[in-house]
Structure 1
Amino acid sequence: MARPDKAAAVAELTDQFRDSNAAVLTEYRGLTVAQLKQLRRALSGNATYAVVKNTLTSIAAKQAGVPVDDAHLAGPSAIAFVTGDPVEAAKGLRDFARANPALVIKGGVLEGRALTAEDITKLADLESREVLLAKTAGVLKATLFQAAYLFTAPAAQAVRTVEALREKQASAETAA
């Protein structure tokens, strides 16, 4: 490969590192082309999956200012550049790795912070952003209902007390 081709590949990788909010480094040794195609389809909504050259990736990561551990860049490497929800992409990679043990998650980067394989697994175990937002909204709604109940409880209790006194007075008048 000629030097201009390598420079173009480094520039493309640098742009992908800059444009993505996360990147997951994997080893794909032992996966078939059909399995790689299946993985790309599984990640298509949130990430792009590309086989990369280790040296060019190391250079591109340094140019993009992304902390990539050179120990992760050994052997056949591929990167999932995440542009969508990082949790969904991590779940897709984790689930595919469970079904296909040949895929090894080495590590990654999330918003400029280096991640280990364990960190990516923890990220995959999180619920999606939408679910977390819905739970937060539910908690806020419950808190508002509780506050509204506390504000209306004394008035409701006073009304019940007045009604009980009226009934007592009415029954005393009918008895007399």
Structure 2
Amino acid sequence: MDRTEKQAFVQALQAVFAETSFVLVSQNKGLTVADATTLRRRMREAGATYKVAKNRLAALALDGTSFQGISPLLKGPTALSWSRDPVAVAKTAVDFAKVNDKFVILGGALGTQTLDADGVKALAALPSLETLRAQLLGLIQTPATRIAGILQAPGSQLARVFAAYAKKDEAEAEAA
């Protein structure tokens, strides 16, 4: 990379760090090209990005951002992953690390909070943003359906009472 490419790379990473809420740092010693391709594909499917970056350039891009706390993790062959949904990145990375021992999660940062590998695993255990939205929508809709049921109940009970009186009257009329 020449100097202008390095500057462009640092600026691109700074733009990413300004937009995202979570950055994961992983180490990939001995990861094959096929494994790296599989990981990239899984990250892309989860809406995340996986990028191998030179540590010095990544550290320059981290300066002045809320993710400065992960700079000490940038040693050896590291890669950065990020997404708008922090749980998606963490889940994908943790799942991949379970099946590939050459991929090691070093830590990450969720906003200004620096996480170690256990913190990332705990984040991966949370439900995804889409699941949380669906649960919240369900909680919001449940009271509305209960209110509608309660409002309809008296009307339907009255209808049943009227129907019972009508049947009673019909039975008395037939008997007479």
Deviations, residues 38-87 of structure 1 (Å, cap 9, x unaligned)? 222222342332223334333321233423234422332211132x5333
Instruction: Measure how far apart 1:5 and its partner are.
Output: 6.5
User: Residue 157 of structure 1 aligns with which residue?
Assistant: 157
Aligned residues of 2:82 and 2:89 also touching (Cα < 8 A): no
Relative to structure 2, which stretch is displaced further, 61-70 or 23-32?
Answer: 61-70
SS in 1 for 2:34: helix
Superposition TM-score, scaled by structure 1 size: 0.78
Q: CA deviation at 1:7?
A: 5.0
Q: Matched residue pairs, number?
A: 175
Are the equivalent residues in 2 in contact too, given 1:58–1:68 (CA < 8 A)? Answer: no
> CA separation of 1:20/1:170 partners in 2, compared to 1, >3 Å: closer, same or farther?
closer
Partner of residue 114, structure 1: 114
Alignment of 1:92-131 (within 5 A): 92-131=92-131
Which residue does the alignment assign to 2:76?
75
Map 1:1-176; keep pairs closer than 5 Å: 7=7, 9-45=9-45, 46-82=47-83, 84-176=84-176
Instruction: Please say if residues 23 and 67 of structure 2, whose CA atoms lie closer than 8 Å, have aligned partners that are also in contact.
Output: no
Structure 1 residue runs of 5 or longer lacking an equivalent are none
Q: Structure 2-normalised TM-score? A: 0.78
% identical equivalent positions? 34
CA shift, 1:136, in A, is 3.1
CA-CA distance at 1:153 after TM superposition:
0.9
Range 23-32 or range 103-112, more displaced: 103-112
Please report how far the alpha carbon of residue 6 of structure 1 lies from its aligned counterpart in structure 2 after TM superposition: 5.6
Deviates more, 1:95-104 or 1:45-54: 45-54
CA displacement 1:92-118 (0-9 Å, x = unmatched) = 212211111111111112344433323
Unaligned runs of 5+ in 2: none
- Name the SS for the 1:63 alignment partner: coil
Shift in CA distance, 135/4, structure 1 to aligned 2, threshold 3 Å: closer
Return the letter of the residue paired with 2:105: I
Shift, 1:90, TM fit: 2.2
Quote the Cα distance in structure 1 between the aligned partners of 2:150 and 2:115: 46
